[in-house]
Amino acid sequence: MLTGQELLAKVKEAGDGSKSDLVKACGYVSTKKDGGERLNFTAFYEALLEAKGVSLGEGSNVGKGGRKLSYVATVQGNGNLLIGKAYTVMLNLKPGDEFEIKLGRKQIRLVPVGGEDEGEE
């Protein structure tokens, strides 16, 4: 997927072509489960805005598929509590990051191992 100046140059070069062809040419395509192509217009336009210096803000509170984040987690049937990728991306968490689990009155806090616990809010 093209970004930054490369993306701007490709858009300029494309001229009056179709939007679908432009999105495809810039690499904003994914493969659906059935093998078909999905054009990722939202990602393309967000990258284009960013390349032009327009920031939508980090953590725009949008998860997969453009859904608004609910900031609610539900315990699953197997007892796991899933946070979700949108939240880990917002916090810039990487695989292997470790946390201490702090149990408080009616709350759970995750504190990075070696980090400072900011206490209850």
| Class for the domain spanning 64-112 | mainly beta
* pLDDT tens figures, 15-59: 777 888 999 999 999 888 888 888 988 888 888 888 888 766 555
DSSP notation for the chain? ---HHHHHHHHHHHTT--HHHHHHHTT-EEE-TTS-EEE-HHHHHHHHHHHTT----S--SB-GGGPBP-----B-TTS-B---HHHHHHTT--TT--EEEEEETTEEEEEETTS------
Which residue, 7, 100, 16, is CA-closest to 45? 7
- Domain ranges (residues) in the chain: 4-51, 64-112
pTM of the full predicted structure? 0.46
Residue 78 has pLDDT above 90, yes or no: yes
* pLDDT tens figures, 43-52: 888 888 888 8
